[in-house]
Amino acid sequence: MGLGERGNWDKSESRYCGVETEFNDDVPRLLSFNLSSTGFDFIVAPLTDPTYRPSLLEADSGSSHVPPFAGSDLVLSPSQWSSHVVGKISSWIDLDSEDEIVRMDSETALKQEIAWATHLSLQACLLPFPKGASCANYARCVNQILQGLSNMQLWLRIPLLKTDDDSPNVDSDNLMDSWELWNLFQLICEHHSQLSVALDILSTLPSVNSIGRWFGEPVRVAIIHTDSFLTNARGYPCLSKSHQKIINGFFNHSVQMIISGKPLHNIPAETIGSAADHTDKNVNNVPRHPLRSYLDYVGYLYQRMEPLSEQERIELGYRDFLQAPLQPLMDNLEAQTYETFEKDSVKYLQYQRAISKALLDRVSDGEASTVTTVLMVVGAGRGPLVRASLQAAEETGRKLKVYAVEKNPNAVVTLHSLVKLEGWENIVTIVSCDMRLWNAPERADILVSELLGSFGDNELSPECLDGAQRFLKQDGISIPSSYTSFIQPITASKLYNDVKSHKDLVHFETAYVVKLHGVARLAPTKPVFTFNHPDYSTKKSNQRYKKLQFEIPRDTGSAMVHGFAGYFDATLYKDVHLGIEPSMATPNMFSWFAIFFPLRQPICVQPGSPLEVHFWRCCGSTKVWYEWCVTSPRPSPIHNSNGRSYWVGL
């Protein structure tokens, strides 16, 4: 049934909600009670009688025995097992127990239950929370199992728990930060893509920064306990503002909800079904599910979320999907690529604003009818900047002469058609040539380009504009006039696994364009490289080096750095800017996603420890490339030495 819909289109996994149940060997009845009359989508049910211990059964019945599983595989259809049942592995299991019998029983039971779940074609199994601070044997055994799994996911249950330094300990004498335990477990299992987190949401939440780490981890489900709910004025369960915020965050990251625990709210019978946001009625005289009001509230939170904007819906398929950056000098863009970029009206409106301001500064009102400004669009593509320039001239009442310089012969065909269609033949001159090789017949007052990449200079804007600025007047204006790249450390478990799946060095030394979504941004961005245009300095070089130090907020706790997210911000002209750096990004612009620089080995940063990273922009005769490394808290190798894996061709 699902929790409802957002905007009549939503197909997110998070619209499904499950319920945690006790052991019951009548699985069809268990399924019917929780799904048919209630609206839950799946059950999380124990697969084995909780009293079962392999050693006791062997002692009683000799060598051959059948574990007391919850019914035969025949009691449900294969599709019911697969779609509506998540196996809950016995919670008594303790593979790191000091007691050898308990440890051996635990390993036997775990493997038996996983084998049975595989036989039933379950999509996932919920693994119990590790009992102590040490979980090496548990993780080793799970890692063994993962090597033989085909499609099933294993969800490791982890409480969302991090006590502050000055707060009393919670639940355990040793456990201060449950993320540490998860991190140890996933490192032993080598970040296996079929190992995920089932996060227990407790009544007390850690800091916002601490919670933020989990958005970069593979959290598949959030388990909300009934004792985490408050009671509203009408007697119904509800959640605190901070709980609502984290649940909404998980909804946005396609995390499914599971409701767990016994009902703690005695809802008056006469109010059942009367509340607009908690509707409930008995169906076919089936008894009302005791957790129905909790499910209704979670559904209410889901349905009141803002529907995704049109831009977000377009970008949905690109979330956390690695793409190789463009090679605009080596390769000619295809029509489809041009069309995608040309749809970004916000970008061209910013350019038009910048050109209008430059024209007004360049030509006074008194000279408007007599002075013609020479404007050159270098890298004109199929003409959107030509159009923006002419619209700026019309808006300001200035006269314009335009040169449209484009190296792609296919785009030049479209340019000629556009000029003829719009009647611009007397204003626009089309030049089919690489801007670095063109000998201009006259000098330009304004040089306009859109050569920026996700990292600012990564599509060789500096090299192109260096070649083009020779035909700009000494007092001429370049649009953009400057741009700066930025980076920040991120947790990005999915991106790391996607890179790792290629099983080679090259992919770990490549920068990717990616619509970041399932990531945790661990510290604010810092500027890396800046380029200014025009640049008439005599000792000019486009090589750059920067050492940066990031401080991850202490209340975050430890965090895993899988790589660095890169952005840019550009000054087009004076106060008109354009960019994707998160704190000052141009709203509703979609021409650029972030860039991702992976690390070959993720680095764990402890609270209060500085993260020191080095970035180089290197230039050769035929290519430009980046190199990067971390030196603190522990050194990493230099990535992409000599551009051996990734470069941009000149």
What is the overall mean pLDDT for the chain?
90
The pLDDT value given to residue 315: 86
Same domain, 428 and 487: no
pLDDT at 62 over 80: no
Same domain, 298 and 356: no
Which CATH number fits the domain that encloses residue 227?
3.20.20.150
44-51 average pLDDT score: 93
Same domain, 90 and 210: yes
Q: How far apart are alpha carbons 135 and 97 in whole angstroms? A: 9
Query: Is 5 annotated among the ligand-binding residues?
Result: no
> pLDDT for 243-258, tens place per residue?
999 999 999 999 999 9
Same domain, 435 and 562: no
Q: How far apart are alpha carbons 6 and 12 in whole angstroms? A: 10
pTM of the model: 0.91
Residue 330 counted as domain residue:
no
Reported as a pLDDT band with limits 50, 70 and 90, residue 647 is very high
> pLDDT for 479-499, tens place per residue?
999 999 999 999 999 999 999
Same domain, 154 and 38: yes
Lowest-pLDDT range of 325-334, 384-393, 394-403, 525-534: 325-334
Same domain, 75 and 199: yes
403 beta partners = 376, 429
Place of tokens 């180089």: 616
Residues in the chain: 650
**325 vs 137, higher pLDDT:** 137
Residue 328 counted as domain residue:
no
Query: Is 539 annotated among the ligand-binding residues?
Result: no
Residue 473 counted as domain residue:
no
Q: Is the Cα torsion angle 170, 491, 13, 236 positive or negative in sign?
A: positive
Same domain, 446 and 493: no
Query: Is 294 annotated among the ligand-binding residues?
Result: no
Same domain, 487 and 591: yes
Residue 323 counted as domain residue:
no
Residue 497 counted as domain residue:
yes
Clarify whether 13 is annotated catalytic.
no
Same domain, 610 and 550: yes
Report the 10 Å Cβ neighbour count for 420: 10
Same domain, 512 and 406: no
Query: Is 217 annotated among the ligand-binding residues?
Result: no
The pLDDT value given to residue 326: 75
Residue 329 counted as domain residue:
no
The pLDDT value given to residue 614: 98
Count of domains in the chain? Answer: 3
Q: How far apart are alpha carbons 336 and 59 in whole angstroms? A: 70
Q: Is the Cα torsion angle 319, 380, 579, 464 positive or negative in sign?
A: positive
Residue 339 counted as domain residue:
yes
Same domain, 339 and 263: no
DSSP one-letter string for 165-214: TTSPP-S-SS-SBHHHHHHHHHHHTTT-TTEEEEEEE-SS---HHHHHGG
Same domain, 49 and 145: yes
Amino acid residing at 71: G
Amino acid residing at 187: L
Which CATH number fits the domain that encloses residue 639?
2.70.160.11
Choosing from 397, 428, 450, the residue where a domain stops is: 450
Amino acid residing at 531: F
376-401 average pLDDT score: 96
> pLDDT for 352-376, tens place per residue?
999 999 999 999 999 999 999 999 9
Peptide bond into 50 cis (omega under 30): no
Q: How far apart are alpha carbons 279 and 270 in whole angstroms? A: 12
The pLDDT value given to residue 170: 43
> pLDDT for 299-345, tens place per residue?
999 999 988 888 888 888 899 999 987 777 777 888 888 898 888 99
Q: How far apart are alpha carbons 419 and 238 in whole angstroms? A: 62
Catalytic residue among 113, 450, 463, 581: 450
Catalytic residue among 217, 459, 463, 581: 459
Give the rounded percent of residues in the chain with a pLDDT score beyond 70: 92
564 beta partners = 489, 597
Clarify whether 306 is annotated catalytic.
no
The pLDDT value given to residue 593: 95
Q: Residue 342 belongs to what domain range? A: 335-450
Query: Is 545 annotated among the ligand-binding residues?
Result: no
Residue 516 counted as domain residue:
yes
pLDDT at 89 over 60: yes
